[in-house]
């Protein structure tokens, strides 16, 4: 009778567990489920971590904050983000130092529309913790110039404006799978200069990450997942200049079923945050 009861209890537990709604699951590069604690323990040993997000995904933004807070308790952090452009670093620094308030930052810097809900908490964490926060992305007008005229369009910029871009000429490999995939995804709308515009962003973010990195610190960078998926994009440029550093990557993906990582998502990063596709979005 006791064995029957135990079997019933075990079966009931399995049924209950399978019926539970799970908003996300974390996987390693091989597609094996891992705990947040395991991810944290691995990443705290790195020199740099690229946190690839889906820009409107609340789980990614929540975990960005949680990971930042937890890593701060273990390492000296430097933060940085794609979502603020390099020529707005002065305004960002003024906010971090308390010289201007959020309203002034919002009116002087080109903040994303979802900054207040999704990125302001990270910036405020840096402010409250006296951490540097690096505006790493290329100003969008320069990416637009590259899209229209290739890298050569940047040659005529004044010296001061070139300070907001990775050093010219830009090293570039158009055959990288990620760049080739952009052409496939865009179809007739794809062009070599479109891929160059992506590369100028990747190169510039890598440039400012390395320029502001301090030995012994951990640089935590927030960016769209495509900028670091498959160990390409930003990471390709980082490793080009500093192959000696220890890098970690995170990606965020969306699936109807989070309980098994789909083949196309296996191996895109060291850790993959698989979020239920029914999850609400921030915009």
What pLDDT, in 10s, does the model give residues 72-117? 999 999 999 999 999 999 999 999 999 999 999 999 999 999 999 9
Print the domain residue range for 225: 23-276
Q: Is 239 a member of any domain?
A: yes
Do the domain assignments include residue 60? yes
- Whole-prediction pTM: 0.92
CA distance 45 to 68: 14
Q: What is the CATH number of the domain that holds 108?
A: 3.40.50.11550
**Domain count of the chain?**
1
Identify whether the C-beta of residue 92 lies closer than 8 Å to the C-beta of residue 123. yes
The answer as to whether 6 is a domain residue is no
Q: Quick check: is 3 in a domain? A: no
Residue 120 has phi, psi (to 5 degrees) of: -55, -40
Torsion from C-alpha of 203, 183, 267, 209, nearest 10 degrees:
10
Read off the pLDDT of residues 46-70 as tens digits, 9 standing for 90 and up: 999 999 999 999 999 999 999 999 9
Q: Over the stretch 125-180, which tens digit does the pLDDT of each residue have?
A: 999 999 999 999 999 999 999 999 999 999 999 999 999 999 999 999 999 999 99
Q: Looking at the domain assignment, is residue 13 inside a domain?
A: no
Examine residue 2 and state whether it is found in any structural domain, yes or no.
Answer: no
Q: Is 273 helix (H, G, I), strand (E, B) or coil?
A: strand
């Amino acid at each position: 009778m006791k064995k029957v009861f135990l079997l019933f209890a075990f079966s009931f537990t399995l049924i209950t567990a399978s019926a539970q709604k799970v908003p996300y699951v974390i996987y390693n590069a091989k597609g094996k489920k891992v705990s947040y604690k395991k991810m944290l323990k691995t990443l705290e040993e790195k020199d740099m971590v690229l946190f690839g997000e889906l820009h409107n995904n609340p789980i990614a933004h929540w975990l960005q904050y949680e990971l930042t807070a937890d890593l701060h308790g273990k390492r000296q952090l430097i933060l940085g983000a794609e979502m603020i452009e390099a020529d707005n670093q002065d305004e960002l620094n003024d906010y971090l130092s308390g010289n201007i308030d959020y309203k002034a930052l919002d009116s002087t810097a080109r903040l994303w529309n979802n900054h207040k809900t999704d990125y302001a908490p990270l910036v405020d964490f840096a402010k409250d913790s006296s951490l540097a926060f690096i505006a790493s992305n290329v100003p969008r007008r320069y990416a637009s110039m590259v899209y229209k005229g290739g890298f050569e369009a940047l040659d005529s910029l004044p010296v001061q404006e070139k300070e907001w871009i990775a050093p010219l000429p830009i090293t570039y490999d158009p055959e990288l799978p990620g760049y080739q995939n952009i052409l496939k995804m865009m179809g007739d709308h794809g062009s070599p200069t479109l891929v160059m515009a992506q590369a100028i962003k990747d190169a510039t973010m890598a440039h400012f990450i390395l320029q502001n990195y301090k030995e012994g610190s951990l640089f935590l960078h927030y960016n769209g997942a495509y900028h670091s998926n498959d160990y390409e994009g930003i990471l390709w440029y980082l490793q080009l200049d500093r192959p000696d550093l220890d890098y970690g990557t995170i990606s965020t993906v969306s699936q109807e079923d989070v309980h098994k990582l789909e083949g196309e998502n296996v191996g895109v990063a060291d850790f993959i945050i698989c979020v239920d596709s029914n999850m609400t979005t921030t915009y």
